[in-house]
Structure 1
């Protein structure tokens, strides 16, 4: 539907979003080494061994011999670093690049790590609950990306974001409208999807988890819904004109 390119929100409290960069690098490295075959022969069993399989997570099924590498509960995290293809990977990395740095800035490095892990849990459980008998592995960081997007719109709904609408038309719109359209699209697909497309629930679960967590994990001096941004704009206008904005 759209591709985010860049936003107008500066990073003010941290030098670099190291957690975001590290997460992106880990996803890219795992794909390059174990899935794409760019560095070594691809590991065809990686999605089964490290992906989140609902029937295995809930204990109704077991992996075939030779595929059991980590406990079923750990796949909630390991599945984040595998992707279904280069476009799947690139899309998630682009969303993290545009929105992740500001969320990390407003939460702080350590709380942002906790935020990512909890969004992984929320999205993974939502996916598994939506198809508890599914034997198909869930892979990708899309659920965490959904949580990051939720936190961003809770923090900065008024910030302008450059996007490619329908992957072609460049537009600069407020985050509220862009992410609002994204939410409607995700929720609609989750409600209408058949058994083969229940991964949409991972996006919905991640988004809800991120929206709930951001209020609890944000820095004490950070205000939701761009209230501090509005105040800065008003002070700047008053200093410039001598009149209230």
Structure 2
């Protein structure tokens, strides 16, 4: 399932949502211009490396924010930006432009810390906007639980669109991450070598913090 758009029109232009999408795309285009060695160095400098954050937080804390604009491939970028495009505009309208930006970056940083907490000695770079966008999804599900989202569905070779309640779509996203996150913990417990993969706990952490923080930022303020 792939969201296309929701049913809630916005009355203001979501400048920061557009700006965040633009910045992510520009950074990814820069990544494409780098050689493999240069790209690895770029990730090592700007992505969150848990072991480095553990041993030298004072100089590495900025990666909690810079890592949010890095992506590991086209699909990683596109899927994140589509979710931000579909769900970010309504949250930006409700919070206001500046509060929305602070909320987005804050959720992303807290999400990265959740992933760091799971594996403080890991040397695998953690990167992507998924944690921050999960925060947006957490805010959306409590502010617009009855909204419906037009979603692209792939049924083998057949592709169609259906309207799905946001509560169901985002709920499936959250449950998938909880199940995968618990599985990743079990796998790590049964293995003597470090394993990489999707930062499920960053997704879960971002989602939960989005639900907690968004009301404090004014998600339910009256017009």
Structure 2 unmatched ranges of 5 or more: 188-194
Question: When the two structures are superposed, what TM-score results if normalisation uses the length of structure 2?
Answer: 0.88
Aligned match for 2:179, one of 177, 188, 192? 188
Aligned length: 208
SS in 2 for 1:209: helix
Q: Structure 2 CA distance, aligned partners of 1:103 and 1:185?
A: 23
Aligned to 1:10: 9
Which secondary structure does the structure 1 equivalent of 2:120 belong to? coil
Contact persistence 1:131–1:198 (CA under 8 A): no
Aligned Cα root-mean-square deviation (Å): 1.9
In structure 2, what is the Cα distance between the partners aligned to 1:165 and 1:204?
Answer: 24
**Structure 1 residue ranges (4+ consecutive) displaced by more than 6 angstroms after TM superposition:** none
Deviation at 1:41, TM superposition (A): 5.7
**Which of 173, 181, 184 is the equivalent residue of 2:164?**
173
1:25 aligned partner = 22
What's the offset of the Cα at 1:165? Answer: 3.1
Tell me which residue corresponds to 2:44: 48
Give yes or no for contact 2:91–2:139 (8 Å, CA) kept in 1.
yes
Contact 2:50 2:122 (8 Å CA) reproduced: yes
Shift of 1:166: 4.5
Of 161-170 and 186-195, deviating more is 161-170
> Which runs of 5 or more residues in structure 1 are unaligned?
62-69, 223-245
Q: Distance in 2 between matches of 1:165 and 1:183?
A: 18
Alignment partner of 2:196: what SS?
A: helix
1:95-174 correspondence runs (5 A): 95-166=83-154, 168-174=159-165
CA gap of 1:179–1:48, structure 2 versus 1, over 3 A, is: same
Contact 2:92 2:100 in 1 (8 A): yes
Conserved 8 A contact 1:127-1:198? no
| Larger Rg computed on CA atoms | 1
* Comparing 103-112 and 212-221, the one that deviates more: 212-221
